[in-house]
């Protein structure tokens, strides 16, 4: 094993034997028993450097790159990790935790060039599978409906449920888009309303395979966010996978080269918030709707913009003439004026209301749910009457429907979904915008 300091002219290097293991929390960790140390400045300076400066982010030279050669001949690497040093006399023990580790293996050349991904999600995510899988044990042969297969843009998907895991395999005759595996995770998170995190990833073609192992991330197992399509009320499983495919295609076409796509981030925030109190859930859900509404294209009237600018100038002149422009009330007025340049959520969603994509009542429910939570009003579920608790749950379900309808509009989905704003949670179809009324470009 070898640890090399990042971003240093004469990097500190530790070389020796060691091992990689999972600790009691399932985190990938390592221990390195050094037999060679290069450019080490001394124990006091070394330990001081490891601590860092409180209140600041670690500098790049605080991180190390790990490479290790396994007994099978695989070269595993981690490009950026923090280390801990323990000294016993002249011996140095270096240890730390790994977010991820990877290696690349050469594969035998195939006459038919093919690219493939395989993801292992170690979680029992509820997905509506369509096909049967045969499992043979020492005593019996079992057929279980734990498989779904679909095609998207000449990519063949095979999604299976195993023992405590979901396995996603994708094959293609052409190279995958950048970070395609992240787009799969985003789509799976969206349709299941549960954060999907891969723990094992295999990326391959006809020449090489890359293996990535990752540590578990912090996540809540108590999220309560409703799925876009309630799997209990599915008319047929293909409804679910059509939504998965539509979101995946949108994510591929709109995500940045690095990082998560913006739509998925807002959805993830709403899912995370649902694991907390009803107040936290309401705030997180409303903020997610606000963020998604900013992605809706709105064609602003040029005349309205002119009126707004004139109004701001008139008020500024009025405050100056009265000598209030430097006063507390004047500063508050100027602050309110600056908000005129920012469209409200209601304004951004008005095109969707006008075109019939969403009902006005959904936006009104968002307003009712947001304002008490945003201004610190606490809902005491223990003391509240049953009717008030039921009303709050209904408001949350209604705003959840609003969130999903905005997403359907953004991704261009035109299939079925579950309307949680209706009693009985009806399965209905997304309404196509009335182009005669739709003011969006």
Same domain (yes/no): 95, 125: no
Same domain (yes/no): 69, 189: no
Same domain (yes/no): 131, 197: yes
Between 332 and 12, where is the model more confident? Answer: 12
Same domain (yes/no): 117, 263: yes
Same domain (yes/no): 185, 63: no
Same domain (yes/no): 258, 164: yes
Same domain (yes/no): 181, 82: no
CB 204 within 8 A of CB 210: yes
Same domain (yes/no): 81, 209: no
75-81 and 64-69: which strand pairing?
A: antiparallel
- The residues, ordered by sequence, that sit 6+ positions from 239 with a Cβ below 8 Å of its Cβ are 229, 415, 416
How high is the pLDDT of residue 90? Answer: 72
Residue 370 included in any domain: no
- Residues 110-122 have a mean pLDDT of 83
- Residues 216-234 have a mean pLDDT of 85
Tell me which residue of 441, 396, 440 sits closest to 421, measured CA to CA: 396
- Residues 53-77 have a mean pLDDT of 91
- Residues 168-184 have a mean pLDDT of 93
Torsion, Cα 376 380 386 391, to 10 degrees, reads 20
Between 40 and 284, where is the model more confident? Answer: 284
How high is the pLDDT of residue 435? Answer: 54
Residue 207 included in any domain: yes
pLDDT tens-digit map of 410-431: 999 999 999 999 988 999 999 8
Torsion, Cα 25 2 108 169, to 10 degrees, reads 20
pLDDT at 109 over 60: no
pTM greater than the 0.95 cutoff: no
Q: Domain end: 65, 99, 133, which one?
A: 99
Residue 249 included in any domain: yes
Same domain (yes/no): 111, 254: yes
Q: Three-state SS for 17? A: strand
How high is the pLDDT of residue 139? Answer: 74
Torsion, Cα 227 231 237 239, to 10 degrees, reads -40
How high is the pLDDT of residue 417? Answer: 93
pLDDT tens-digit map of 241-288: 999 999 999 999 998 878 889 999 999 999 999 998 888 899 999 999
Angstrom distance (rounded) from CA 92 to CA 337: 63
Among positive and negative, which fits the CA dihedral 190, 193, 196, 202?
Answer: negative
Q: Three-state SS for 79? A: strand
Same domain (yes/no): 136, 70: no
Same domain (yes/no): 149, 245: yes
- Residues 13-35 have a mean pLDDT of 93
Residue 288 included in any domain: no
How high is the pLDDT of residue 322? Answer: 81
Residue 365 included in any domain: no
Confidence bin at 104 (pLDDT 50/70/90): very high
- Residues 207-214 have a mean pLDDT of 93
How high is the pLDDT of residue 405? Answer: 97
pLDDT tens-digit map of 295-345: 998 876 667 777 777 887 888 888 888 888 778 887 887 777 776 667 788
Residue 269 included in any domain: yes
Residue 183 included in any domain: yes
Residue 12 included in any domain: yes
Instruction: Quote the number of domains for the chain.
Output: 3
- Residues 171-199 have a mean pLDDT of 93
How high is the pLDDT of residue 4? Answer: 95
Average model confidence (pLDDT) across the chain:
86
- Residues 177-199 have a mean pLDDT of 93
Confidence bin at 373 (pLDDT 50/70/90): low
How high is the pLDDT of residue 441? Answer: 36
Same domain (yes/no): 201, 330: no
- Residues 141-153 have a mean pLDDT of 86
- Residues 83-105 have a mean pLDDT of 88
pLDDT tens-digit map of 374-405: 667 777 777 888 888 899 999 999 999 999 99
- Residue 52: domain span: 2-99
The token pair at 12 is 């500190």
């Amino acid at each position: 094993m070898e640890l090399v300091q990042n971003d240093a002219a004469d990097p500190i290097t530790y070389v020796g034997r060691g091992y990689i293991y999972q600790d009691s929390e399932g985190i990938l960790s390592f221990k390195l028993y050094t037999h060679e140390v290069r450019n080490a400045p001394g124990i006091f300076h070394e330990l001081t450097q490891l601590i860092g400066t409180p209140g600041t982010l670690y500098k790049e030279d605080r991180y190390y790159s790990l490479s290790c050669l396994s007994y099978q001949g695989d070269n595993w690497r981690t490009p950026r990790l923090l280390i801990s040093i323990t000294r016993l006399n002249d011996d140095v023990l270096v240890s730390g935790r790994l977010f991820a580790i990877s290696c690349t293996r050469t594969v035998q050349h195939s006459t038919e060039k093919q690219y493939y991904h395989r993801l292992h999600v170690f979680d029992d995510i509820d997905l509506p599978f369509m096909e049967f899988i045969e499992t043979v044990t020492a005593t019996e042969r079992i057929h279980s409906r734990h498989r779904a297969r679909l095609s998207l843009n000449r990519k063949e998907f095979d999604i299976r449920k195993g023992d405590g895991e979901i396995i996603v395999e994708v094959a293609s005759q052409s190279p995958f888009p950048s970070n395609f595996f992240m787009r799969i995770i985003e789509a799976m998170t969206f349709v299941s309303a549960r954060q999907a995190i891969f723990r094992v990833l295999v990326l391959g073609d006809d020449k090489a395979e890359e293996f990535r192992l990752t540590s578990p991330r912090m996540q809540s197992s108590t999220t309560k966010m409703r799925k876009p399509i309630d799997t209990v009320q599915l008319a047929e499983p293909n409804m679910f996978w059509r939504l998965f495919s539509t979101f995946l295609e949108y994510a591929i076409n709109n995500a940045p080269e690095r990082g998560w796509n913006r739509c998925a981030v807002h959805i993830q925030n709403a899912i995370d918030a649902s694991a907390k109190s009803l107040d936290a859930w309401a705030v997180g859900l409303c903020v997610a709707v606000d963020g998604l509404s900013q992605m809706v294209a709105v064609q602003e009237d040029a005349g309205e913009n002119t009126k707004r600018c004139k109004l701001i100038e008139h008020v500024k002149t009025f405050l100056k003439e009265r000598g209030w422009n430097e006063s507390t009330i004047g500063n508050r007025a100027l602050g309110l004026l600056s908000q005129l340049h920012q469209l409200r959520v209601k304004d951004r969603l008005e095109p969707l209301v006008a075109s019939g994509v969403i009902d006005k009542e959904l936006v009104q429910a968002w307003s009712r749910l947001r304002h008490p939570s945003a201004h610190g009003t606490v809902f005491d579920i223990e003391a509240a009457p049953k009717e008030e608790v039921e009303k709050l749950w209904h408001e949350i379900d209604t705003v959840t429907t609003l969130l999903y309808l905005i997403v359907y509009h953004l991704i261009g989905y035109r299939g079925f979904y579950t309307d949680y704003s209706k009693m009985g949670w009806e399965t209905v179809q997304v309404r196509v915008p009335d182009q005669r009324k739709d003011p969006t470009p």
